Amino acid sequence: MQGLAEDAGIPYTTASKMTRAVFGFLVERTLAGEEVRIDNFGQFKLRYQDAKVKLNNLTGEVKRVLPKVVIRFVPTRKLERGFSELI
């Protein structure tokens, strides 16, 4: 956070408040079922996973996994290319 504040030329507390506000907005809107897009970064959306039955290969135990909702992030191509160039 300190680096962000220094790069933007703003106080640390301001950068911290702005960051919390942005991520709070992302979480709030995504959990409300909206797809949230940030240009040149990516998209956040909910993904519903059905209940399923899993098998533990070591013990042979069958276990039921309950349905759940997860937040999924899909990066833009530009962001993906930037990461792949680092590797």
pLDDT in tens, 6-27: 988 999 999 999 999 999 999 8
The model's pTM is 0.63
pLDDT in tens, 25-66: 998 998 898 999 999 899 999 999 999 999 989 999 999 999
* CATH number corresponding to 2-86: 4.10.520.10
Q: Which residues contact 35 (CB under 8 A, 6 or more apart)?
A: 43, 44, 45
Res. 86: pLDDT tops 70: no
pLDDT score for 83: 74
Per-domain residue ranges of the chain: 2-86
Average pLDDT over residues 64-85: 88
Record the tokens describing residue 44, joined without a space. Answer: 């956040």
Question: What is the C-alpha to C-alpha distance for residues 26 and 38, in angstroms, rounded to an integer?
Answer: 10
